Amino acid sequence: MATTTVPAPVSERLTRIWETAPGLFGALASVDHKTIGKRYLVTSIVFLILGGAEAAALRVQLARPDTSLMTPEAYNQIFSMHGITMIFWYAAPVLSGFSNYMWPLMLGARDMACPRANALSYWTFLMSGVFLYTSALVGQMPDKGWFAYAPLTETAYSPGLNMDFYAIALTFLSVSTTVGAINFVVTLFKTRAPGMSVNRLPIFVWGTLTTSFSVIAAAPALTAACVLLYLDRRFGAHFYDAAFGGSALLWQHLFWSFGHPWVYIVVLPAMGIVSDLMPTFCRRPLVGYAFVALATVSTGMLGFGVWVHHMFATGLPATASSFFSAASMVITIPSAIAVFSWIATMWHGRPVFKTPMLFAAGFIILFVIGGVSGVATAANAYDLQLTDTYFIVAHLHYVLIGINVFAVMAGFYYWLPKITGKMLNEKLGKVNFWLMFIGFGVGFFPMHTLGLLGMPRRIYTYAAGLGWEWQNMWVTIGAFVFALGVAVFIANFFWSLRSGDDAGPNPWDAPTLEWATPSPPPPYNFARVPIVGSRHPLWEGRTSERTGQSLLDTGPILDEGRDTFGTTPLDAEPDEILRMPEDTMWPFFLSLSILVVSYGLLFDRLWLGAIGIGALFVCIAGWFWPRGVVRSPAGA
Amino acid sequence: MAVSSNPYSLPVNPARQSNPGWWVMVLVIATEAMLFAYLLFAYYYLASMSGNGFPAGGAPRLTLVVPNTVILLASSGSMYWGERGIRRGDQRRLRLGMLVTLILGAVFLTIQGIEYSRKSFGLSTNAYGSLFFTITGFHGAHVFVGLLMNAVVQVWAWRGWFTRERHLAVTNVAMYWHFVDIVWLAVFFSLYITPRLS
């Protein structure tokens, strides 16, 4: 499938219209979804490396008994930062990176619906992370774990700035996730190519759409929890203080009301990546497309009804526990639908085990193991034995690394050729996969048995003679093998930039729209707006599916401005032209002013906060100030 | 498909409902509504954990809050009246409606401030005080943001930048304002009425 060609003057005009200006202004003002997507990906990988370095430090400390490499206080800070970094600043943002880059390409649009909000979402993500890591500079990193249970987080037990960093940074980050989620939903409602109806969306789009709704509904729970914590700590409120009528469990309810939906927020788009590359590498359409799409949405919804399974050990009434235990079990149904769909796709296809497919296959294995240990922990009686042991650590790493990191690696090997225009090295890719897969098994499987042997999580060391020694050594060795795999990936990335083969538009002979553009895509994505007629526009006529006919070479050009079609939410019928905003610095300055407010709150400096709030208001007014308004005739 | 013949026969950036900006406001309201839902959850949760007699000093007095509720609801009415005006191209009705809304909103905040000053407890007295001031404070902050939005958009209205066809900013500010009022009803019912129902 060749990419669409248009006469040179047309493509030059489109480039002029859509290109970001060079230099510092362009760097800070760009609203191009591809630039923002790349920034999201690189930044979240930097956070992955930071979180990985923290994990490495933890594993060196735990490799042998009675080690005193770090103090208990340092250990608390480092394990907390490891979890916070990975869960909040890596796992979701990396998927936002893929979504930002891929959505308009997959949907046949020229940008996201709200390009400036997109830039805002990136800058707030970056700056909240910078804010969080300034805690390292003052040596007061959050130290009460990533879920920060009250009352340990109250001033009496945590007098430093540590938990203030936590509360403010997470509130700041939820600005980023919320803005991003709103943008995805509006993009889906408004800016799909004509004909890209809901039954033709890639599963990855279904995944991100579901999680965007989850963010809109769940992120405020974390914001509320963190604001109440801040009020407790700084203004003497008593939300989590039982002595004055508060309740430590209030934190757990609020946090897990957010936290469990978040689990699906960091896995559903990743499952979507696998569902979408499966057809490419099995050379056939996904088996049970509609079921997988519905399973994605229903998992997201069920995710709101299971938060109490994190709280079985808190002494809730048995009826409540049983209810939430049953609800948690129900989630196995949509998960199993997805798994069987992938297996059936492989079974009925002709799998080609290139690196992306290897990672996808590894992902399925880890998904099943993590799912089974999830069923174990959803069972109330069993969970009471397992809670706060290494079994839980094993389970959550199988889920988060298995379902997130392996799918992300598959996504990188699949889509980096599109993003950079260069193929990654296939041999290094296989080394990369096997190092990570074996390292993961060696590193994390023994955690199950360590947990069953009674090793509690979050201990900074343990005595010799408890029977935990050799397994802990295995875990540490496995973790380092896994880290080596990540290093090979990074080396492969830089190798591809220097010496990789040119990818061409569609190196995998994949079926979806993002592969109808050159690699890397031009600033305007599609010279001619595609008119979509089927779920696999690039495979039409080659499968036994009876499909409509897409028009990729004869669609309209739209070159009177930064224009893309506005389409109806369900059937994607075009009903307007959306003229997209130019590059602008307001999102950058707006994020900067939130950063200033955050430091004002952290250091209790009213003047700093006031400057930040004032700047915030100026930025918002400037952002929305009408430009080029059509003034009505006087007196009208 | 017809679009390929002459795409520019479609309207460019029509300022109507279903515009991206309109959807953004709908979703912002959705996520803010969830924020209040979680805050009210905190209220009911701590109330249910407290045993009998929540709040300890009895239900808060209605003297100021009932008229204040009426004032806030009236401000929604004036906002609606003004927005209906610009839908017919009536600039004066828009300006007047928004101005009255701004004044009523400011009066609401002032009376709220008076009620705060008459309370015998504070944010740090006990969990109930924390809940009362945090929830009403969050709502008050939303009213304040609504007033800022009103003020800016009103400047545009007085400059005559809105027409019968193009007034999406007014629609969005109005939606936000009605939302803030509906949230107030939920807050009012939870904090002032439910303690009288037990």
CA distance A633 to chain B (A): 8
DSSP conformation class of A535: S
Going from N- to C-terminal start, the domains of chain A cover 8-16+36-583, 584-626
| Residue A628 banded pLDDT, cuts 50, 70, 90 | low
What span, in angstroms and rounded, lies between the C-alpha atoms of A258 and B137?
23
**C-alpha radius of gyration, chain B, whole number:** 20
- The string of pLDDT tens digits covering residues A422-464 is 999 999 999 999 999 999 999 999 999 999 999 999 999 999 9
Collect all residues of chain A within an 8 Å Cβ-Cβ radius of residue B15: none
pLDDT at position A531 over 60: yes
- What is the per-residue pLDDT for A250? 97
Of A248, A128, A103, the residue nearest A189 (C-alpha): A103
ipTM value for the complex? 0.95
CA geometry: angle B105, B111, B112, nearest 5 deg: 85
Q: For residue A629, give the 3-state DSSP assignment.
A: coil
Interface contact B41-A254, CB threshold 8 A? yes
Q: Does B13 touch chain A (CB under 8 A)?
A: yes
Q: Which residue of B has its CA nearest to A631?
A: B161
- The string of pLDDT tens digits covering residues A386-407 is 999 999 999 999 999 999 999 9
Interface contact B27-A113, CB threshold 8 A? no
Domains, chain B, ordered by start: 27-47+60-197 (1.20.120.80)
Collect all residues of chain A within an 8 Å Cβ-Cβ radius of residue B50: 245
Residues 36-75 of B with CB under 8 A from A: 37-39, 41-42, 45-46, 49-50
| Residue A539 CA: distances (Å) to CA of A4, A192, A353, A452, A536 | 16, 20, 20, 50, 5
Nearest-CB residue to A235 (from B12, B123, B156): B123
Q: Does B24 touch chain A (CB under 8 A)?
A: yes
pLDDT at position A1 over 70: no
In chain B, helix, strand, coil percent, each to 5? 75, 0, 25
Tally A–B CB contacts below 8 A. Answer: 169
pTM confidence score: 0.95
| Residue A553 banded pLDDT, cuts 50, 70, 90 | confident
pLDDT at position A134 over 60: yes
| Residue A635 banded pLDDT, cuts 50, 70, 90 | very low
> What topology is assigned to A8-16+36-583 in CATH?
Cytochrome C Oxidase; Chain A (1.20.210)
Nearest-CB residue to A576 (from B11, B37, B163): B11
Judge contact between B136 and A606, C-beta under 8 A.
no
Q: Among B9, B10, B150, B158, pick the best mutation site for testing chain A contact (most A Cβ within 10 A).
A: B10
pLDDT at position A4 over 80: no
Among A176-190, A202-216, B16-30, the least confident range = B16-30
What span, in angstroms and rounded, lies between the C-alpha atoms of A371 and A318?
24
| H or E segment to which residue A575 belongs | strand A574-579
What span, in angstroms and rounded, lies between the C-alpha atoms of B7 and A64?
69
Nearest-CB residue to A194 (from B1, B35, B161): B1
What span, in angstroms and rounded, lies between the C-alpha atoms of A219 and A257?
9
* Percent of chain A at pLDDT exceeding 90: 87
- The string of pLDDT tens digits covering residues A61-78 is 999 999 999 999 999 999
Neighbours of A606 (CB within 10 A): 9
- What is the per-residue pLDDT for A3? 57
Of A362, A377, A293, the residue nearest A329 (C-alpha): A377
Q: Which residue of B has its CA nearest to A179?
A: B28
Collect all residues of chain B within an 8 Å Cβ-Cβ radius of residue A195: 1
Judge contact between A623 and A586, C-beta under 8 A.
yes
What span, in angstroms and rounded, lies between the C-alpha atoms of A515 and A575?
26
Residue A565 tokens, joined: 């079609």
Q: Does B144 touch chain A (CB under 8 A)?
A: no
Of A561, A564, A532, the residue nearest A548 (C-alpha): A532
What residues in chain B have per-residue pLDDT under 50?
A: 1-2
- Report chain A's mean pLDDT, rounded to a whole number: 94
Burial of A470 (0-12, 13-18, 19+ CB in 10 A): exposed
pLDDT at position A627 over 80: no
- The string of pLDDT tens digits covering residues A220-276 is 999 999 999 999 999 999 999 999 999 999 999 999 999 999 999 999 999 999 999
**C-alpha radius of gyration, chain A, whole number:** 25
Residue A218 tokens, joined: 């769940």
Q: Which residue of B has its CA nearest to A558?
A: B7
| Residue A581 CA: distances (Å) to CA of A45, A344, A450, A585, A608 | 29, 44, 55, 12, 31
Q: Does A234 touch chain B (CB under 8 A)?
A: no
- What is the per-residue pLDDT for A542? 87
Nearest-CB residue to A114 (from B20, B41, B91): B20
